[in-house]
A and B are shown apart, each in its own frame.
Chain A
Amino acid sequence: MRKQTGEVNFIMEGMRQRRRRWLFVTSILVIIAIGLCCAMLLLGNTIYPVNVVMRSLMGEEITGANFAINTIRLPRMITGVFAGFAFGVAGYIFQTMLRNPLANPNILGITSGSSVAAVFCIVVLHTSNTVVSIAAILGGLVTVIVMYFLSRGRSFSIGRLIIIGIGMQAMLDAVISYLILKSAQQDIAAALRWLSGSLNGSKMTEAIPLVMLVIIFTPILLVLGKQLSMLELGEQMATSLGVATDKMRVTLIISSVILIAIATATTGPIAFVSFLAGPIANRLVGVSASNILPAGLVGAILVLFADLIGQFAFEYRFPVGVITGILGAPYLIYLIIRMNRKGEL
């Protein structure tokens, strides 16, 4: 009897500890993110003091500072934060649901699907931002549906899914290259954003749909997050714990695809953020908890940090996607090497 209470206490203590760690890590992440946001506003060609930035944000008229801060840096910062958050959350959900860190929207070709739709709208149809966003979401969803039907077979295999995704990506990327090739000279710079994501030229009007969708879908995902961690135990276990696995999967997939698609439509496919955020968050918090929020925060931090590096570390300004690509790719290779060694593939 006493031994049992001891065990219960032990488990409860462990839970409390994990919750404390979760809270601790999450608040640290929030603080870092806020710090980077401030840096995004303060730094630039001219470094404005804090009080000027504050006054300018409050709507006071300051020549020069108004334009630099309110028109250029603020939209850039907001776009970066929300796009990074969206990439991080969606990537984490895919990785957790498919129980494989390699199974992220990038590798599965979903980002490319959104990109193709968006590039087509921008370069060929010259449509408005709203249409681009909607098209990107549809492109992502269509890719997922096609992937689903292709990967359905006698038995499901993550390896097969990934190879199919790589095939899809090859096709979609061919379309993007073609569109860029045929685009007019003056559109190239804009079109290149679709090869590697970029925050250059972010506008408030383009950031608004992104912000709205992130605000709408994040709570939904957070609520479902608890069930997600049950899903992680395996299909049968989750069913017996009372999770409607199919319905829940569909909801999760649609929500994450919408997040990925709107972020892609706004910034272009920022490489590897959706892939890196999940594993980093898991390492920081521990795998057991539902790490949607930390993953999103890590995503936002990655994007802001990489953008700051891209803007200021070199004499030429690199778009954020190039920096995340160079940082992220070695990690992907490392992960593959580690999985190979362990024989997990």
Chain B
Amino acid sequence: MIRLKNSSSNSKKKQLDIHAPKHFSLILVIGLILLLVTVFASLVLGARVVSFQELMDGLFYQNQDSYGANVVQKRISRTVFSLCCGVALGIAGVLMQSVTRNPLADPSILGVNTGASLFVIIGITFFHINTAGQYIWLALIGAAITAVFVFGIGSMGRGGATPIKLVLAGAATSAALSSLVTAIMIPSTYAMDQFRFWQVGSVGSGSWDSIAIFIPFLVTGVIIALVSAPALNALALGDDVATGLGVRPGMLRFFAICAGVVLCGVTTALAGPIGFIGLLATHAMRLVIGPDLRFLIPMSALAGAIILTFSDVVGRLIGSPGELEVGIITAFIGAPILILLAKRSKVRSL
């Protein structure tokens, strides 16, 4: 579909492929260990800390009557769900950043989340939908329309989609859409009550059902992202060079953006708007392994999963005996990163 047409000889290709970033395997191992630790923490910690025995019971479905085992089983689905969301958001972040060649592109900053929200609230208010399966399609449509709109505005004029233009277009669109959201929500107490809880992103509602809905979209998005990674690398060199290397920039952008929008739209539909994961994961990983997207995409997925699950655990610990929704935690970790990026980047590139 999208591939370097310029298929050079096999040996050359191999040479290209073995250029893994420095310490890649080490970083991968550290990442996997961190992932295991976070998953373990997510299963064990929370309002009630379970013992090792209870954890084992829960994991292997023994001793079903014990309270702790039930807690663990609830946490298993929650953890899997948050891993899925993290992967999706991490990849969506990389895709958007590389397609727009813009370090600040993130679904939440570009207003894509608000677009999804608007369509979901319209569905809740006017069509009384209330199942995750129905949320998804509305959220996807909303996210897609918003993405097209924001990119359209942001790339007008000289210099294409510069960070500041995109961020402003995103913020303005977000503001416009949230006025509409409020306008639709206020007359309906039913919608207000439903939406109040949906508005703050949380993985607490993650059940096996929602995971089952999530998986097909997630797999599609991940496959598109991985397949298009080499071509996106070429695109990073500029449209002309990419065309010379046999990439069709328009097609590539379209597919990559579609995958990004699907990933973040589905996550928003199921978990509510969770911001900044894509920004955080991608920048952290780019810092350690460099900009090669063939490695950056999977690693960002890993980092996204770790960060989101970790944030969820932190939220559960801080908010104990209730919980602090993960969307709030990620805003607090992510916004400083955005500020830091703005501070560090050169004036001209803003």
Contacts and interface: CB of A to CB of B under 8 A. Distances in A.
Contacts of A168: 335, 339
Contacts of B345: 160
14 contacts: A157-B350, A160-B345, A163-B167, A167-B336, A177-B199, A181-B196, A316-B187, A318-B186, A318-B187, A321-B182, A325-B178, A336-B153, A336-B169, A343-B159
Given A326-B176, A340-B157, 7 more contacts: A106-B175, A163-B164, A163-B167, A166-B338, A167-B338, A177-B200, A321-B179
Contacts of B180: 325-326
Contacts of A138: none
A188 B165 CA distance: 35
B324 interface: yes
A318 B179 CA distance: 11
Size bracket, chain B contacts: 35 or more
B332 interface: yes
A336 B167 CA distance: 11
Q: Which of B180, B336, B342 has the most CB of A within 10 A?
A: B342
Interface in B145-171: 153-154, 156-159, 162-165, 167-169, 171
A162 B157 contact: no
Given A322-B182, A337-B156, A162 B331 contact: no
B221 interface: no
A345 B164 contact: yes
Label chain B's interface by main secondary structure: helix
A107 B104 CA distance: 17
Interface in A176-216: 177-178, 180-181, 188, 192, 195-196
Contact of A326 (B179, B324, B332, B343): B179
A337 B150 CA distance: 11
Question: Is the contact region of chain A dominated by helix, strand, or loop, or is it mixed?
Answer: helix
Contacts of A159: 163-164, 347, 350
A181 B328 CA distance: 11
B293 to A, nearest CB: 24
A87 to B, nearest CB: 15
A35 to B, nearest CB: 26
Nearest to A181: B200
B276 interface: yes
A271 B177 CA distance: 12
